[in-house]
Amino acid sequence: MKTKKIKVNSVSKWIFSYKNPVYRLFSELRFHYRNIRFSVINFLNPLYPKWRSTLPKHKNSDISYVIVESNFNLLLDFHDHINKNNWVDWESDEQLKKFYDELEKNIFWLKNERENLSKLIEKEFFKVSSDYTTSSTLDKYQKVSELEKEKQQKETEILTWMMQNRSFFWT
């Protein structure tokens, strides 16, 4: 009586293939588990949280405002991310060092000076709007206009710097 020999190679291929219903079931369960896990983790701890806060749901915003705010929040997220993990030796290369120094300078301006400048603009605007003298509107709002122009120039400078150095923004 002759017995059939099962080739070990073909059996091992079949065990780990989708033709095997048990393997298929566990593979699909694993896929769904990983997908749900990723969704839950991203819901609890979203990627780029500052950038996401720029784009609130159910709110219309001016596109020029969204461009500036979203890019600045991406820059802040990037800075937080690289400082939290300390993956990069910023002193290893001259270009990296220069980039990091400029990044720190721009982050300082975004976090501190920009906010102070915005408060100063609001204060000046409130001062001007409560002034009921007969002076012309252009004269009254000249200081506010100059401060807004200064803020816009610095924002444009930082946005331009971001585009010129976009090769350094990796994750």
Neighbours of 5 (CB within 10 A): 6
The tens digit of pLDDT for each residue in 75-117 reads 998 998 888 877 778 888 899 999 999 999 999 999 999 999 9
113, 87 contact by CB (below 8 A): no
The tens digit of pLDDT for each residue in 106-155 reads 999 999 999 999 999 999 888 877 766 656 767 778 888 899 999 999 99
95, 103 contact by CB (below 8 A): no
**Against a cut of 0.85, is the pTM above it?**
no
Render the burial of 52-81: b for 16+ CB within 10 Å, e for the rest. Answer: eebeeeeeeeeeeeeebbbbbbbbbbbbee
The tens digit of pLDDT for each residue in 30-74 reads 989 998 988 888 777 777 777 777 776 666 777 788 889 889 999
Q: What phi-psi label fits residue 53: left (phi over 0), alpha (psi between -120 and 50 degrees) or beta?
A: alpha
Amino acid at 21: P
Burial of 96 (0-12, 13-18, 19+ CB in 10 A): middle
